[in-house]
């Protein structure tokens, strides 16, 4: 019966692209999917519907914004799908940490890391987030690059969470490695024909050099910690080492610990740094909204901690930023078996991609989709009416492990900065976003910080 359904499944409509068409487009420069992914995805769905098929000249791809299919892939039947091939490339940098791993191995590793993200652990970390924000807010005056500022805040927070130290001495090396790694991996994902990664080309060698430098730092920290076990359990590294010893009969798989830590370090600061920078830039255009946030900040931080029950506006501002500028602008899976969805054949081995950036602006789910309107997330008629139309952190069991951490740190940073400064935009500067493995700002983005008397 199932075989009959599969045999009867139709191929969804989509563009016909030959390898020559693809080569010609690549010769012209970046393809549209990375130049303007919103126009790319919405254009495809407008022309072909909510399930599009093409081999794009290089392999079988489905592009979907069908919410029933999205729910099936991510929430109700996630085990039937593997991570998309892009994650195989990311694994050259991140190894086999919980972002890339699959099946029972992933489940065991996620269970090991998850306890670091409980409500009580995050509450205990709140004072550090406030300190990071206040520290970053100390010496701003006149124009400052919000991209650099936000990356610094995000990196400091994640380093303190992972290792219990602020890590300033290593910031330059980490940021250079992450920037190069993100670019390098993203180019490999886009290239239909590529040299093997171990071919000694200049860019491959530079990639391995950056990875080596980052590894040196991480292995040194792991070794130091193993030599002073009394510090165990106070931060994520300590918890992970203790869990490792328990599950491995007293031993520690150092390479696996490196893979988990580098995954959290990279997934945990690039995305947040980009989102926070965009939020500050959006806020810089609205003095009234800044004042409402300042009032909310004063009430919420009155006790020296942050009472996040009293923070709906900052939550809405961050959500609205994530809607308009999702750092994870595309999320994909690979089909493990043939199946039929609404009469269409989905082929084993093909990749299934969702353009989150277009879903988040789809007029079916959002009023005035291109407008920055944080109030849409507030009140009885809050948008979207359908849950899966908003998934900046993914969905289902593989939803971002750091989503609450990220929200809290961005809200805290916005509060601490606005309590000290009025922000305004600098004429002539617009954000230049590059759509790599995750989205990031290509250039500095200056904003004026005027101290509040």
Give the binding site for ligand HEM (CB under 6 A). Answer: 83, 98-99, 110, 158, 263-264, 267-268, 271-272, 275, 327-328, 331, 392-394, 398, 400-402, 405-406
CB crowding 124-139: b at 16 or more within 10 Å, else e = ebbebbbbbbbebbee
Least distance to ligand HEM, CB of residue 451, Å: 28
CA distance 83 to 64: 16
CA distance 336 to 79: 9
When the beta carbons of 392 and 446 are compared against ligand HEM, the nearer one is: 392
CA distance 264 to 270: 10
Least distance to ligand HEM, CB of residue 201, Å: 29
Least distance to ligand HEM, CB of residue 229, Å: 24
When the beta carbons of 42 and 271 are compared against ligand HEM, the nearer one is: 271
332: nearest Cα among 33, 112, 107, 129: 33
When the beta carbons of 345 and 413 are compared against ligand HEM, the nearer one is: 413
**Phi, psi (deg, nearest 5) at residue 448:** -85, 130
Which structure tokens are listed for 330? 């595309």
Q: Which residue sits closest to ligand HEM, CB atoms considered?
A: 402
> Which run of H or of E encompasses 345?
strand 344-346
> Which run of H or of E encompasses 54?
strand 51-54
When the beta carbons of 393 and 421 are compared against ligand HEM, the nearer one is: 393
Least distance to ligand HEM, CB of residue 10, Å: 28
When the beta carbons of 316 and 400 are compared against ligand HEM, the nearer one is: 400
The answer to the question of whether 400 is labelled as a binding residue is yes
When the beta carbons of 281 and 345 are compared against ligand HEM, the nearer one is: 281
Least distance to ligand HEM, CB of residue 75, Å: 11
Which structure tokens are listed for 161? 């969470």
CA distance 193 to 207: 18
Least distance to ligand HEM, CB of residue 308, Å: 16
Q: Which residues 6+ apart lie within 8 Å of 199 measured at CB?
A: none
Query: Which amino acids are annotated as binding site for heme, given as ranges?
Result: 400
């Amino acid at each position: 019966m199932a075989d009959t359904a599969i045999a009867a499944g139709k191929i969804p409509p989509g563009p016909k692209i030959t390898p020559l068409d693809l080569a010609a487009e690549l010769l012209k420069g970046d393809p549209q999917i990375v130049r303007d992914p919103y126009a790319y995805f919405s254009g495809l769905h407008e022309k072909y519907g909510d399930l599009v098929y093409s081999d794009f000249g290089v392999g079988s791809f489905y592009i979907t914004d069908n919410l029933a299919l999205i729910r099936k892939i991510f929430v109700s039947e996630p085990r039937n799908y593997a991570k998309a091939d892009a994650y195989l490339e990311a694994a050259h940098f991140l190894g086999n940490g919980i972002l890339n791993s699959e099946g029972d191995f992933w489940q065991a590793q996620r269970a090991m890391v998850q306890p670091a993200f409980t409500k009580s652990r995050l509450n205990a970390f709140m004072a550090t987030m406030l300190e990071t924000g206040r520290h970053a807010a100390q010496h701003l005056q006149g124009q400052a690059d919000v991209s650099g500022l936000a990356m610094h805040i995000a990196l400091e927070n994640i380093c303190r969470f992972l290792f219990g130290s602020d890590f300033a001495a290593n910031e330059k090396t980490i940021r250079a490695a992450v920037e190069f790694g993100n670019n390098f991996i993203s180019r490999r994902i886009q290239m239909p024909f590529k040299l093997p990664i171990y071919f000694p080309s200049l860019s491959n060698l530079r990639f391995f050099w950056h990875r080596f430098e980052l590894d040196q730092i991480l292995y040194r920290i792991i070794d130091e910690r193993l030599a002073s076990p009394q510090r165990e359990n106070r931060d994520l590294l300590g918890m992970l080492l203790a869990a490792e010893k328990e599950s491995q009969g007293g031993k520690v798989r150092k390479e696996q610990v490196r893979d988990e830590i580098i995954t959290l370090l990279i997934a945990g600061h690039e995305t947040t740094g980009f989102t926070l920078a965009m939020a500050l830039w959006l806020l810089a255009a609205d003095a009234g909204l800044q004042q409402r946030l300042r009032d909310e900040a004063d009430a919420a931080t009155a006790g020296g901690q942050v009472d996040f029950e009293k923070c709906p506006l900052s939550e809405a501002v961050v959500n609205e930023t994530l809607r308009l500028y999702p750092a994870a602008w595309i999320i994909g899976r690979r089909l493990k078996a043939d199946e039929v969805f609404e009469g269409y054949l989905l082929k084993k081995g093909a990749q299934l991609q969702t353009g989150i950036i277009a879903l988040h602006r789809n007029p079916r789910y959002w009023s005035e989709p291109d407008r920055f309107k944080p109030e849409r997330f507030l009140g009885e008629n809050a948008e979207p009416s359908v849950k899966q139309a908003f998934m900046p952190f993914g969905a289902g069991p593989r939803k971002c492990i750091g989503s609450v951490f990220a929200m809290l740190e961005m809200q805290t940073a916005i509060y601490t900065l606005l309590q000290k400064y009025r922000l305004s935009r600098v004429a002539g500067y617009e954000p230049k976003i590059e759509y790599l493995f995750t989205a990031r700002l290509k250039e500095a983005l200056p904003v004026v910080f005027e101290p509040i008397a």
